[in-house]
Chain A
Amino acid sequence: MTDATRTEPARRPARRPGPGLVLWGSVALFALLFALVAYRVGVSTAPSAAARPSLVRKVVKRRVVTTIVPTPGRSSVSASPASTSESGAEPIVTGAS
């Protein structure tokens, strides 16, 4: 076993960035990214003469809900001769004819 002793230069402790640098760096990076995103969004939504028209298709599903309710009362079949009015006051009745 040798008794040689090697000497190495003393390591200097790593310099950690100061809080001010971290803070302003973060702000700057955020601003940069924000500006980049804002630019991209602006470009994509800007009207362009070459833009292809988009086709919006509206899908409408129709359903009829029919309920049936027993109702006592007199029938009033519309049996008047020719008559005209602007509001349907008489009930609509289905029956043999």
Chain B
Amino acid sequence: MSGEHDITFDAMGSHVRLLIGEPGPGLRSAALAAERARETILAFDAALSRFKPDSELCALNEDPREAVPASPLLRRAVRAGLQAAERTGGLVDPTLVGEIEAAGYVGSRAGVQGASLGSALAEAPPRRPAQPDPRERWRRFLVDEEAGEIRRPPGLRFDTGGTGKGLAADLLAEDLRGYSRFVVDCGGDIRIGGADALVNPFEVYVEHPLSGERAFVLRLGHGGVATSGLNVRVWRGEDGRFAHHLIDPARGEPAWTGLVGATALGDTTVEAETLSKAALLSGPEGAREVLAPLGGLIVHDGGRVEPVGSLSLRPRVRWPQPAEESGLAA
């Protein structure tokens, strides 16, 4: 892992890390590319944060018009959220802003000491898989690229949080394509690329959500990997009950499904992030189905780590797809 320019900074409520190798012909140095990428991430965060009142996302959510002019970045972020909902049948629902605020997640929890996940699990209600909201409110969002607008019923709010970090990683990956190899790590949602990475892959450790130990090592030469877990954003609400940020769309409450973590591989980070969330929300049985095609890991409430799909085999051979051909990356 030596030889890459390595920079870490805080953005999007998480730590962002960039590892950038040698530039291709005509490209700026890795250090300059890293600085440019940092500026991109900060601009991304400023535009799409649910917790920044002056963000374009908040302006969209507050706008009384039905059709709202939107920047290309916001349109792409909304498209990514809608594609995630479509892909998961509405399980990863970007319109649960009211529900997540009702659960107590009103402001950023970056740097906030969370509650004990072990205690939360002990008091959590009976486990059951989450279900999509039959109202399918996300289908009422429409991105009009020709008009440069987003249309939805006024008052229906959108949250890019479900796919935001993955999209940020994928956007930077497009800019870093000409470098020998690179890693974009947006708070654990990771994109890997570069020709050299195919022959000299990166090692990515999967953190165990209960013990904090390294549960597995993945050697990845291409694509995305993302993890969703309950261990970071869990708190005790005003009603005394424990809550976390992954909402069951059908019930509008935090989902307790029997899983505390899910890691997914994908051709893009948005895809991996979508699949990891869908897996965690689906519970053990559903998660196996969600993760089987591209591979992943699930961590049960009791701490057992279960490789799923192709990750349960080794060696594992996966054919990469260029990012621009992936529907979720578009």
Contacts and interface: CB of A to CB of B under 8 A. Distances in A.
B216 A69 contact: yes
A64 B320 contact: yes
Interface in B185-224: 185, 187-190, 198, 201-209, 211-223
Nearest to B192: A92
A75 interface: yes
Nearest to B226: A94
Interface in B297-330: 307, 311, 314-320
A58 B111 CA distance: 51
Contact of A68 (B7, B9, B216, B233): B216
A65 interface: yes
A59 interface: no
Nearest to B12: A97
A78 B17 contact: yes
Interface in A45-97: 62-75, 77-97
Contacts of A66: 201, 218-221, 265, 295, 311, 315-318
B141 to A, nearest CB: 26
B4 interface: yes
Contact of B314 (A64, A68, A77, A78): A68
A97 B4 CA distance: 24
B204 A94 contact: yes
A66 B222 CA distance: 10
Nearest to B195: A62
A57 B58 CA distance: 50
B61 interface: no
- Assign chain B's interface to a size class: 35 or more
Interface centre among A73, A81, A82 (most CB of B within 10 A): A82
B222 to A, nearest CB: 5
A81 B110 CA distance: 13
Contact of A86 (B5, B9, B188): B5
Contacts of B6: 84-90
A79 B212 CA distance: 13
Contact of A81 (B3, B10, B209, B225): B10
B8 A82 contact: yes
Nearest to B318: A64
Given A87-B1, A88-B6, A93-B207, A64 B311 contact: no
A63 to B, nearest CB: 6
Interface string A2-40: 000000000000000000000000000000000000000
B303 to A, nearest CB: 14
A82 B9 contact: yes
B15 interface: yes
A95 B263 CA distance: 8
Interface of A: 62-75, 77-97
Given A91-B203, A96-B209, A97-B14, 18 more contacts: A65-B219, A67-B219, A78-B15, A78-B17, A79-B15, A82-B10, A84-B7, A84-B31, A87-B4, A91-B1, A91-B205, A92-B19, A92-B185, A92-B190, A92-B205, A94-B206, A96-B188, A97-B189
Interface of B: 1-10, 13-15, 17, 19, 31, 34, 165, 183, 185, 187-190, 198, 201-209, 211-223, 225-233, 261, 263, 265, 295, 307, 311, 314-320
26 contacts: A62-B198, A63-B320, A64-B318, A66-B201, A66-B218, A66-B220, A66-B318, A67-B219, A67-B314, A69-B216, A69-B217, A73-B214, A75-B207, A78-B17, A81-B10, A87-B3, A87-B4, A88-B4, A90-B17, A91-B1, A94-B205, A94-B227, A94-B263, A95-B227, A97-B14, A97-B232
